[in-house]
Chain A
Amino acid sequence: MSKRLLRFTALGYLTLLLLAPVGMIAYRTFAHGMSPVWHALTTPSALHAVYLSLAVTAIAVPLNVVFGVGTGVLLARRRMPAGGLVNLLVNLPFAMSPVVIGLALFVLYGRTGWIGSWLAAHSLQVLFSFPGLVLATAFVSLPFVIREVVPVLEELGDDQEQAAATLGANSVQTFWRITLPSIRWAVVYGVVLSAARALGEYGAVSIVSGNIVGQTQTLPLLVEERFRDFDSTGAYSAGFLLALISLLILAAMTVLSRRKEHP
């Protein structure tokens, strides 16, 4: 009885909090049929926003994988001098509001910032351009791969790596043949989570992007702009597309985690 009540409460809570709003978006998007949705999503600015979001994600996520796996191995396997500090830093993007991250990047990379002024002198621009978007996105999605990889590495222990060493493998061979295959599912999870986060990132990106339509406007920024301009069909359509991509990513993750059971 109490079990049923608990289940009911949990489901009700999830429905109210998650399912109803997402369902509403879908419902409102298609309230007037397919054609206005199609129209809203095929404007040049919308197409560019989709392309830009995917491109930024496609660069930020691999950066996170390389950095995340590398740092993860160092944190889990070597007695790192400032290991505690690194651990803390890695969690920073989780703890900090994305808007603050955006501001921090703005200060550093702006024309008067330390790095920004040097870049400006070499006529390179980070803010209000593609590199700035990648930077902000990589920052906010940085912890996901590390946070997935480190616990798995710690649980595995280093017996297998030592066994590989006694069999003649050097550290590069050991990494590719033993370490990476053993953490591959953690890496996949990390990729999925950071991709979902990267695609949806709004706060930090909104500050460094400048929101230039057709140039630095990502999909979330497009949703927000159309919403503010009372273009409800445009906002709902773009919002729905964003939600759909996230759902596809989550579905991929679920399928992958099922396959994980089999070696």
Chain B
Amino acid sequence: MSIDARGITKTFGDFHALRDVTVSIERGRLTALLGPSGGGKSTLLRIIAGLETPDEGRVYIDGKDMTGIPARRRGVGFVFQHYAAFPHMTVWDNVAFGLRIAKSDRARTRERVGELLDLVHLSGLSHRYPAELSGGQRQRMALARALAVQPKLLLLDEPFGALDVKVRQELRAWLRELHERVHATTVFVTHDQEEAMELADQVVLINDGSVEQIGPPEKLYDDPANPFVMGFLGATTRIGEQLVRPHDIEVLRTKNGFDAYEGVVQRVIGLGFHSRIEVVLADGSESTVQLTRAHARQLELRVGDTVYLRPLGEGPTHEIPDARSGDVQPA
């Protein structure tokens, strides 16, 4: 199902959660609503699900105006950050909940719940209560429960936010696989740019109640619409008057006639696969450069060495903003 949210505005008291937000999500896509905490992405997801009502604007699902339709009649599967498991029901009963509400016949319910528990690898735990499951298992159960009613639209609100790193990575890979298998349009909220880059076909970057940019993850990384997007999707550093990616700078020992910035090496930091060097330029500003380890070794950089930095001009650049990007430190 496609989603069209048009001109959505939502305030909570004095707080503007969303200001005139318009987003289109294509059928069958896996879309990430990405952005910093408190930026409004969860609110947008909840408005699409019908769990919040927008102050202004309309929500269309498959072209139908769903703005006034309650959540229970939207046919949307929703997964909550903290699982929202029904603690007094077994795993089986949790997953069967939606089917029982829909008065699906018993044989059908049994078959469907069995299938779903297989899908989320919880078949052996069907008689347990949520309190007896790990966080990852609870979230898989919540996902199975949401899928039971065969929603055309699956919405996940920071689904892996409460899980530890290892489980989160497993579940990510598994969600991608699941998305391809169940053919639902999937939208998930995350504040983790890596998660968005790894999983999503399409990223909607939301900040301070507005959409900053919409596009495939590579597009946002390589061609960010503004310094905020550039800073949010990856590391940035300043060189001269420009904001660039730290790996888009070449380090030279001699100027060689290039148009390069002279500076002195302040620190050399080995980070396993790559190295990071911090350089103070002649104008007193500081730049960070990321190199492969082999390249760094070959250059034999030491603290106090004079080097020349040359922007490669391959990646994105932006004018230095007024101090919006955290990576840019005044000299």
Find B88's partner among A168, A169, A173, A263 (CB 8 Å cutoff): A263
B277 to chain A, nearest CB (A): 47
Using CB atoms, name the residue of chain A closest to B88. A181
A240 to chain B, nearest CB (A): 39
Q: Which of chain B's residues have a CB closer than 8 A to the CB of A169?
A: 72, 97, 101
Q: Count residues on chain A whose CB falls below 8 Å from chain B CBs.
A: 18
Find A166's partner among B49, B87, B102, B129 (CB 8 Å cutoff): B49
Q: Which of chain A's residues have a CB closer than 8 A to the CB of B71?
A: 162, 165-166
CB of B70 closer than 8 Å to a CB of A? yes
B137 to chain A, nearest CB (A): 16
CB of B131 closer than 8 Å to a CB of A? yes
Q: Which of chain A's residues have a CB closer than 8 A to the CB of B102?
A: 168
Pairwise interchain contact A165-B70, C-beta atoms closer than 8 A: yes
CB of B82 closer than 8 Å to a CB of A? yes
CB of B80 closer than 8 Å to a CB of A? yes
- Interface code B80-94, partner A: CB below 8 Å = 1, 0 otherwise? 101011111000000
- Interface code A139-179, partner B: CB below 8 Å = 1, 0 otherwise? 00000000000000000000110111111111001000110
Q: Which of chain B's residues have a CB closer than 8 A to the CB of A170?
A: 72
Pairwise interchain contact A168-B98, C-beta atoms closer than 8 A: yes
- Interface code A83-126, partner B: CB below 8 Å = 1, 0 otherwise? 00000000000000000000000000000000000000000000
CA distance A162 to B101 in the complex (A): 14
Pairwise interchain contact A168-B78, C-beta atoms closer than 8 A: no
CB of A182 closer than 8 Å to a CB of B? yes
Mostly, the A contact residues are helix
Known: A162-B71, A162-B78, A263-B131. A167 touches B98 (CB 8 A): yes
CB of B76 closer than 8 Å to a CB of A? yes
CA distance A170 to B103 in the complex (A): 13
Pairwise interchain contact A167-B51, C-beta atoms closer than 8 A: no
B189 to chain A, nearest CB (A): 15
Q: Which of chain A's residues have a CB closer than 8 A to the CB of B85?
A: 160
Known: A162-B51, A166-B76, A263-B129. A182 touches B146 (CB 8 A): no
CA distance A163 to B95 in the complex (A): 12
Pairwise interchain contact A166-B146, C-beta atoms closer than 8 A: yes
CB of B205 closer than 8 Å to a CB of A? no
Using CB atoms, name the residue of chain A closest to B155. A166
Pairwise interchain contact A166-B51, C-beta atoms closer than 8 A: yes
B84 to chain A, nearest CB (A): 4
CA distance A5 to B146 in the complex (A): 57
A100 to chain B, nearest CB (A): 39
Pairwise interchain contact B84-A159, C-beta atoms closer than 8 A: yes
Pairwise interchain contact B101-A160, C-beta atoms closer than 8 A: no
CB of B149 closer than 8 Å to a CB of A? yes
CA distance A162 to B49 in the complex (A): 10
Pairwise interchain contact B101-A163, C-beta atoms closer than 8 A: no
CA distance A123 to B48 in the complex (A): 58
Using CB atoms, name the residue of chain B closest to A160. B84
Within 8 A of A (CB), among B6-49: 49
Known: A162-B51, A162-B71, A166-B72. A182 touches B87 (CB 8 A): yes
CB of B145 closer than 8 Å to a CB of A? yes
- Interface code B142-176, partner A: CB below 8 Å = 1, 0 otherwise? 10011011000000000000000000000000000
CB of B77 closer than 8 Å to a CB of A? yes
Q: Which of chain B's residues have a CB closer than 8 A to the CB of A159?
A: 80, 82, 84
Of A162, A163, A167, A181, the most chain B CB neighbours within 10 A belong to: A167
Q: Which of chain A's residues have a CB closer than 8 A to the CB of B73?
A: 168
- Interface code B54-84, partner A: CB below 8 Å = 1, 0 otherwise? 0000000000000000111110111010101
22 A-B contact pairs sorted by A residue (CB < 8 Å): A159-B80, A159-B82, A160-B86, A163-B80, A163-B142, A164-B97, A165-B50, A165-B70, A166-B71, A166-B72, A166-B74, A166-B76, A166-B78, A167-B98, A167-B145, A167-B148, A167-B149, A168-B73, A169-B97, A184-B88, A263-B88, A263-B131
Q: Which B residues are within 8 Å of any A CB, using their own CB?
A: 49-51, 70-74, 76-78, 80, 82, 84-88, 97-98, 101-102, 129, 131, 142, 145-146, 148-149
Known: A165-B70, A166-B78, A263-B88. 8 other contacts (CB 8 A): A162-B51, A165-B50, A166-B71, A166-B72, A167-B101, A167-B149, A169-B101, A181-B88
Q: Which A residues are within 8 Å of any B CB, using their own CB?
A: 159-160, 162-170, 173, 177-178, 181-182, 184, 263
